[in-house]
Chains A and B, each alone.
Chain A
Amino acid sequence: MRFFYYLDLARRSFARHRVLTALMIVAIALGIGTSMTTLTVLYLLSGDPLPGKSERTFYVQLDAGGKEGFRPGEEPNLQLSRYDAEGLLRARHAPRQALMTGGNGAIDPKRAGVDPFYADVRYTSADFFPMFDVPFARGGPWTAQEDEAHARVAVISKELAEKLFDGGDGVGRSVRLDGHELAIVGVLEYWRPTPHFYDLFTGDYGESEQIFLPFSTSRDLELERSGNIDCWDEAGLTSTAVNAPCAWIQFWVQLESPAEAAAYRDYLVSYSEEQQRNGRFMRPPNVRLRSVMEWLDFRRVVPSDVRLQAWLAFAFLAVCLLNTVGLLLAKFLRRSAEIGVRRALGASRRAIFTQFLVEAGCVGLIGGVLGLGLAWLGLYAVRQQPVDYAPLARLDPTMLATTFVIALVSSLLAGLLPAWRAARIVPALQLKSQ
């Protein structure tokens, strides 16, 4: 195999020009290490948290705001009022829909040696689990009937089950939240969608909640809620009351086709018109129905400095590659005499081109391995930063493969010009000039 011959020639060339080769490898490794660190962070932060379904899952917005400060065409409220969210849930115009908000409460472990602790809670409705493909280890979600019945049920995370029941099965047992007993109907597998797309008002990249229970139950029990709330009127009600003029609830629907999405949008418009006629909405219908990725884009979830860092890192990689092009050119053209001899002995231009491209590819691969080590160090440094996405900064198999592809492609690109120049060397001149 000619390829293995070229590999052997590359090895000999590296041994002969150690310093030059080391310089090239370090240049590529630095470029790869830096760009892979930032690219990994960007990839983790901008990934699809609901692969395969994100295009069919939509976030609902209605403009329920007051007359004051109204400007036509402006963005409607980012969340729904309780009245609207519960109304849309009851209407069931989508195949699946769920309302939700975050909260927290004290959990009494009922176990000797484990102190009570605070946990993040999600108040939602039955479709939350199938709509977001939430994986269950044991049991399952509660039902829509249990939502309507304000049932004292809960689904808990695997981590909480292990903490409360010492690794035992929690289904059929109960958890005490803020002094209220809730029957556990399901235990989740480890689940941490990144970003925390379904509620961006309680942190973009936080952990998932430890307890999920029906929204209706949470209101009965007056459990504490968390996240943003936007009120536009003084109605003398508590902000979480059904008729309070406050938006604090997220509402998601699953719609299977563009036609269904269009129909649902029409429904939201007619709902708004009806609310306007009834005197509840002061503004003309103004609705939004954004898919998961559109919603994340709109909310600018990926920090802008992360994007900037990625651009800068790739610019740095380009500089490193330009350096490598220069070094490869110098290295290859220093071997003009050898190239002349090889051409005289039967090497075609293509053979010379391939030989030198293989050598450049080897530099890239070695640089890539070294760069991978640097990326690993870089991500370690990111994990030490005080940002909510820090724990996520790890290389996964996709990024590992990407690193090698980028290293190889970059070094082959860097090797193209030098290898082409090497292949164009006129053998006759070299043979006589020795």
Chain B
Amino acid sequence: MLSMRGISKVYRTEMVQTHALRELDLSVRAGELLAVTGPSGSGKTTLLNIAGLLEEFSAGQYQLDGVDVNGLSDDARSRLRNQKIGFIFQSFNLIPDLNLFDNVDVPLRYRGLPRAERKHRIERALERVGLASRMKHYPAELSGGQQQRAAIARAVAGEPPLLLADEPTGNLDSQMAREVLEILEQLNAQGATVVIVTHDPEIAARAHRNVHIVDGVATDLEPAPVLIRGSERQLDPNFAA
């Protein structure tokens, strides 16, 4: 699904050069649930941004679902991002002017889908995260957990094969965090490749594989066994679909 070879990222200012990533190699197989861990400032988010085609890299090779992204135009990168990747952010990043229906509609609009199909996909995505009854609500009217679920609905509405999540539970309490994590696991079980940048040991433990980044260098780790309290999964009944 994702193959990076010798990826480097250098931020240059007039005074200093900062190496965010140093010749990083990373492969993620289709259907994998990967956790990217590491201390703050280690390059986790930079890796995610490069993986999500939101940032250019300074050197290396990157193939996304078989497409070499080197030298792609902005239009082509945007199209690829729209079709292949769903983003989930720590701060949810819903657009406050738009209700949930319209928020989930955003990536579908850029894909140019017909109205009826967009409507069908939006309703199905919101049903999957248990927010079908809140389509007309605005983000400010929802709890943090609900906002993150709406953000997940937005990420999956276009059915991208790859989900990139940056600290998706960082702003949630433990109950809501667990719900979100379970949704992500469910999506992974249904075939989505999921890459999660996280500080949360519980997520790291539940991932198939961990990649630990320190000073821009990645190391593969086996997931450490972590005691999960109250690990009975309490999925929203709607989500089973």
Contacts and interface: CB of A to CB of B under 8 A. Distances in A.
B110 A341 contact: no
B103 to A, nearest CB: 9
B74 A2 contact: no
Interface in A311-350: 337-338, 340-350
B139 to A, nearest CB: 11
Interface string B92-133: 011101100000001101111000000000000000000000
Contacts of A344: 52, 54, 81, 87, 93
Interface string B123-159: 0000000000000000000000000000000100010
Contact of A2 (B49, B75, B109): B109
B54 A428 contact: yes
B76 to A, nearest CB: 9
Contact of B78 (A16, A341, A347): A347
A351 B93 contact: no
Contacts of B82: 345-346
A5 B45 CA distance: 32
A427 interface: yes
Contacts of A338: 95, 97
A340 to B, nearest CB: 7
A6 to B, nearest CB: 10
Contacts of A349: 74, 78
B75 A346 contact: no
A56 to B, nearest CB: 54
A12 interface: yes
Interface residues of A, number: 25
B93 A346 contact: no
A350 B75 contact: yes
B79 A346 contact: yes
A346 B111 contact: yes
Given A346-B81, A434-B89, A351 B110 contact: yes
Contacts of A343: 54, 78
Contact of B75 (A342, A348, A431, A432): A348
A341 B54 contact: no
Given A348-B74, A431-B54, A5 B109 contact: yes
A13 interface: yes
Contacts of A427: 54
Contacts of B45: 428, 432
B55 A345 contact: no
Contact of A432 (B97, B158, B166): B166
B91 interface: yes
Contact of B55 (A2, A16, A428, A434): A428
Contact of A12 (B93, B98, B166): B98
Interface string A1-28: 0100100000011001000000000000
Given A346-B111, A347-B78, A348-B75, A341 B95 contact: yes
A351 B78 contact: yes
A337 B91 CA distance: 11
A347 B93 contact: no
Interface residues of B, number: 30
B110 A431 contact: no
B110 A340 contact: no
B93 A431 contact: yes
A32 B97 CA distance: 31
Contact of B93 (A2, A5, A428, A434): A434
B171 to A, nearest CB: 10
Nearest to B155: A345
A346 B54 CA distance: 10
Interface in A353-376: none
A14 to B, nearest CB: 11
A341 B93 contact: yes
A345 B97 contact: no
Contacts of A345: 81-82, 87, 106-107, 110, 154
A346 B110 contact: yes
Interface in B35-68: 45, 49, 52, 54-55
A72 to B, nearest CB: 70
Nearest to B112: A2
A12 B97 contact: yes
Given A2-B112, A342-B106, A350 B74 contact: yes
B147 to A, nearest CB: 12
A339 to B, nearest CB: 10
Nearest to B49: A428
Nearest to A345: B107
* Residue among A16, A346, A431 with max Cβ neighbours from chain B (10 Å): A346
A348 B78 contact: yes
B93 A337 contact: yes
Contacts of A350: 74-75
A2 B81 CA distance: 18
A341 B82 CA distance: 12
Nearest to A431: B89
Contacts of B89: 431, 434
A346 B74 contact: no
A345 B95 CA distance: 12
Contacts of A340: 93
B10 to A, nearest CB: 15
8 contacts: A12-B97, A340-B93, A342-B95, A342-B106, A345-B154, A428-B45, A428-B55, A432-B45
Given A338-B95, A345-B107, A428-B54, 16 more contacts: A12-B98, A13-B97, A16-B97, A338-B97, A340-B93, A341-B106, A342-B95, A344-B52, A345-B154, A346-B83, A346-B158, A348-B79, A349-B74, A426-B55, A427-B54, A432-B45
Interface of A: 2, 5, 12-13, 16, 337-338, 340-351, 426-428, 431-432, 434
Of all A-B residue pairs in the complex, the 8 with the closest CB atoms, nearest first, are A346-B82, A348-B78, A346-B110, A434-B91, A345-B107, A428-B49, A428-B54, A341-B93
